[in-house]
């Protein structure tokens, strides 16, 4: 076997830890139990260090043998760790935990699963691996759980020269602790079914994605994405994912609605440094003059009512950005929409905001995109007729459609006036309807809605008496 991946031991040639020598499962179990018992009664620090290193080696070469865990718990390894300063011992314990986590043997997992679930700690068996003793007292179960938590926390927070750190919002570096990540995730688990939602399971995946210099924002994003992928286990994970993402956005944005609108109005082009306001001056004045009332009316806890997919959609397309960075919160967007509709009637603004934020109704995408901006186009649908069957008429209507799509409008266009294919025009014949519609289709792809917020939307209408009707019906599969 390849020993290069194993822990460095005092006696590298010890046959007791060679799986090619000890092939019998019972004998392997006896060896590990003996090592654990020696650890329990060892009083020499040097002897303890060697025994822990052997145990770390054993968890790799005998991955299916874990009755040793119970003996380690009887030895109260958590108490040893709390006062231990020997780096070799701590490294060995870290290896033991990592190997337990990585174990994929499922032959005896049902024992441990039943054992832990009866104590109300669903999911911890995944980290411990198979556990063979199911006839344990509640006191032993409690010790098992407490020790696992202490061991995992110790192996993830032990101070080392190359310890990984995260960069906070203010740029300061801070040590990454498993318990801190778990606590932050657990805070967002209120009113969720904790029989199925396990914050520590999410935290473990976040820890595995660590690298030196990672930002706390990226860690939060990773936690949210991890929770979202676990929604197949229980739908409450999707709620947890959204809450983590919303909490992350709140950390990265200003709370005050009026301050955010101030920043949007005084936005500058990053290249030219020229003033390029995103909010219209007229609406900015209304917000500025009524800042106190508008700010105090917003209830930010309502942001946490969005599900994960809904929030990510808002984040991707609807919340306003400055130079690519989101500066709005969902509640800011809803208040902006209310101001865009009612302007100086602040009572109506606040009433509409509350209806929107409590989900009595919502407005269509163009309203959410454009309210209070310099592109105050808040209508969803535009119905047009082709101006004329001519170059001027076709391209004039094409321009109108492009401008509507630019500002997030959807288009319905009737094309009855276009002559059919091969129809005569003086001495020439026309190319028919299909060629014209391909032109409009390409424009719909190029000029998307709202500046890359979503694809252009065109609905083409044609009377059934048109000579190109059958070619028109084939376009859905051929265009």
Q: Which of 458, 457, 454, 462 is nearest to 433 (CA)?
A: 462
Look up residue 8 and give its DSSP letter: P
Average pLDDT over residues 4-32: 57
Rounded Cα–Cα distance for residues 64 and 374 (Å)? 66
pLDDT digits (tens, 9 = 90+) for 61-97: 666 655 444 444 444 454 455 556 667 777 776 666 6
Rounded Cα–Cα distance for residues 75 and 72 (Å)? 5
Q: Where are the alpha helices (DSSP H) in 1-67?
A: 25-41, 45-61
DSSP H helix total and E strand total for the chain: 22, 10
Find out whether 234 and 198 touch, Cβ atoms under 8 Å: no
pLDDT band at 458 (very low <50, low <70, confident <90, very high): confident
Average pLDDT over residues 119-135: 38
Question: Which contacts qualify for 3-6: CB closer than 8 Å, 24 or more apart?
Answer: 5/60, 6/57, 6/60, 6/61
Rounded Cα–Cα distance for residues 283 and 374 (Å)? 9
Find out whether 429 and 417 touch, Cβ atoms under 8 Å: no
Query: Which DSSP helix (H) or strand (E) runs through 167?
Result: strand 165-167
pLDDT band at 157 (very low <50, low <70, confident <90, very high): very low
Residue 384 has φ and ψ, to the nearest 5°, of -125, 155
Cβ burial 212-238 (10 Å sphere, 16+ → b, else e) = eebebbbbbbbbbbbbbebbeebebbb
Average pLDDT over residues 392-417: 89
pLDDT of 150 > 60? The answer is no
pLDDT value at residue 431: 76
Find out whether 226 and 202 touch, Cβ atoms under 8 Å: yes
pLDDT of 295 > 60? The answer is yes
**Assessment of whether the complete model's pTM goes beyond 0.85:** no
pLDDT of 120 > 90? The answer is no
pLDDT value at residue 109: 44
Helix, strand or coil, per DSSP, at residue 119: coil
Which residue bears the tokens 């000029």?
447
- Domain range list for the chain: 15-126, 171-249, 259-320+329-370, 381-474
């Amino acid at each position: 076997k390849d020993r290069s991946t194993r822990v460095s031991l005092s006696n590298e040639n010890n046959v007791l830890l060679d799986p090619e020598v000890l092939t019998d499962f019972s004998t392997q179990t006896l060896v590990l139990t003996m090592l654990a018992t020696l650890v329990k009664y060892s009083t020499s620090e040097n002897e303890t260090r060697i025994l822990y290193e052997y145990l770390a080696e054993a968890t790799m070469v005998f991955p299916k043998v874990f009755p040793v865990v119970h003996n380690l718990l009887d030895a109260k390894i958590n108490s040893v760790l709390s006062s231990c300063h020997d780096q070799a011992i701590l490294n060995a314990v870290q290896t033991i935990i990592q190997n337990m986590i990585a174990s994929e043997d499922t032959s005896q997992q049902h024992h441990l699963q039943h054992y832990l679930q009866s104590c109300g700690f669903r999911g911890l068996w995944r980290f411990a691996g198979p556990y063979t003793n199911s006839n344990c007292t509640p006191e032993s179960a409690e010790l098992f759980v407490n020790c696992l938590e202490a061991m995992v926390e110790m192996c993830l927070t032990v101070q080392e020269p190359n310890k990984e750190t995260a960069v906070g919002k203010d740029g300061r570096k801070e040590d990454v602790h498993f318990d801190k990540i778990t606590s932050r995730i657990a805070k967002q688990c209120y009113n969720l079914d904790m029989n199925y939602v396990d914050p520590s399971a999410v935290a473990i995946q976040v820890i595995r994605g660590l690298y030196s210099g990672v930002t706390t924002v990226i860690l939060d994003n990773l936690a949210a994405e991890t929770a979202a992928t676990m929604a197949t286990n229980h739908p409450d994970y999707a709620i947890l994912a959204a809450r983590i993402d919303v909490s992350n956005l709140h950390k990265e944005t200003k709370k005050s609605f009026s301050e955010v609108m101030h920043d949007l109005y005084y936005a500058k082009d990053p290249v030219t440094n020229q003033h390029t306001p995103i909010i219209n001056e007229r609406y900015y004045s209304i917000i500025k003059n009524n800042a106190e009332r508008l700010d105090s009316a917003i209830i930010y806890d309502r942001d946490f009512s969005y599900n994960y997919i809904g929030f990510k959609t808002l984040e991707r397309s609807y919340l306003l950005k400055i130079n690519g960075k989101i500066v709005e919160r969902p509640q800011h967007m809803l208040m902006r929409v209310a101001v865009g509709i009612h302007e100086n009637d602040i009572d109506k603004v606040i009433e509409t905001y509350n209806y929107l934020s409590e989900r009595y109704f919502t407005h269509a995408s163009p309203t959410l995109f454009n309210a209070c901006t310099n592109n105050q186009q808040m209508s969803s649908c535009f119905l047009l007729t082709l101006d004329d069957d001519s170059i001027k008429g076709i391209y004039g209507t094409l321009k109108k459609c492009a401008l509507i799509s630019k500002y997030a409008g959807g288009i319905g266009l009737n094309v009855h006036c276009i002559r059919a294919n091969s129809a005569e025009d003086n001495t020439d014949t026309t190319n028919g309807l299909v060629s014209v519609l391909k032109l409009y289709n390409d424009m719909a792809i190029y000029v998307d809605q709202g500046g890359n917020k979503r694809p252009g939307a065109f609905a083409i209408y044609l009377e059934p008496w048109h000579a190109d009707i059958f070619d028109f019906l084939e376009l859905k599969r051929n265009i």
